[in-house]
Amino acid sequence: MKKVKKGFTLAEVLITLGVIGVVAAITIPGLITAYKAHQLKAQFLETYSIVQQVFKQMEADDVSLDPQSYNRDKEEVFYKTFNNYLTGTIDCGTYSAKGLPCYNIHDNKGYKTLNGTTKINTSLFDDGQLVLQDGTLLIFEQPSTGTVQLRIWIFVDLNGYKNPPNILGYDLFTFQFLDGELHTMGDKETTYNDINKYCNENSSNALNGIACAHKAKTETDYFKRIIKKFK
């Protein structure tokens, strides 16, 4: 008797490949989104911890954390003191020299608000910038004495300015040091605590996204939702 060789027909192979393709098309985008969301959240929490530890070390060394102790116009710039507690950083200065991995405020693209269309006023980014060893960019906001309410804000670009999307509430978040504690902007005691106004994907407000740090800290699926929004 002749042995019959068993195998798949061309039609069966094509059907199988088609099924695999459909399954891949359904599952892979979700996996990529989940991975990106996990990565951004991990970077956010790690940077939040780093900034918090610096403030604690400054406090332990009895270094002033009072915004009134620092005057940008007299070169008593807060970010320089902050940098003393970090190692391996790149100091970009207050405006960022050309070629450095920082935000040059003369760049026409700049940072955008959460709706992805409105450029943020560069006056918020001209008080010092530091790049951490992992590429995270810290941008300091320290207004001049007598012009506005004194404050210390730190903008955190999780993946650095050279990597898009450079959107407030997506990869750029804001921390505020207030009354001896580090807060995520959007917390009830911070300057911008109206979440509906300052963390709303549909708002055209000039600072929309600035309060999203608090959502990023407290909401489990925040990053996954934002990534899907900007696909």
What average pLDDT does this structure show over 115-127? 88
Identify residue 174 by its one-letter amino acid code. T
Over range 69-91, report the average pLDDT. 82
Could you tell me the pLDDT band of residue 53, with boundaries at 50, 70 and 90? very high
Query: φ and ψ at 57, to 5 degrees?
Result: -65, -40
Would you place residue 65 in the very low, low, confident or very high pLDDT band (cuts 50, 70, 90)? confident
**Measured between alpha carbons, how far is 102 from 142 in angstroms, rounded to an integer?**
18
pLDDT of amino acid 55: 93
- Bigger pLDDT: 203 or 171? 171
What's the pTM value of the predicted model, to 2 decimals?
Answer: 0.85
What is the average pLDDT across 87-116?
85
Q: Over the stretch 132-170, which tens digit does the pLDDT of each residue have?
A: 999 999 999 886 655 555 678 999 999 999 999 999 999
Going across the sheet that includes 181-184, the strands are: 90-93, 129-131, 137-141, 152-157, 172-178, 181-184
pLDDT surpasses 90 at 83: yes
- Share the mean pLDDT of the chain: 85
Residues 110-118: what's their mean pLDDT? 90
Confidence at residue 26, expressed as pLDDT on a 0 to 100 scale:
64
Average pLDDT estimate for 181-205: 92
**Per DSSP, what are the bridge partners of residue 131?**
90, 137
Q: 89: buried, middle or exposed (CB in 10 Å: 19+, 13-18, 0-12)?
A: middle
Give the percent of the chain with pLDDT over 70. 82
Tell me the percentage of the chain whose pLDDT exceeds 90: 52
The residue extents of the domains of the chain are: 10-229
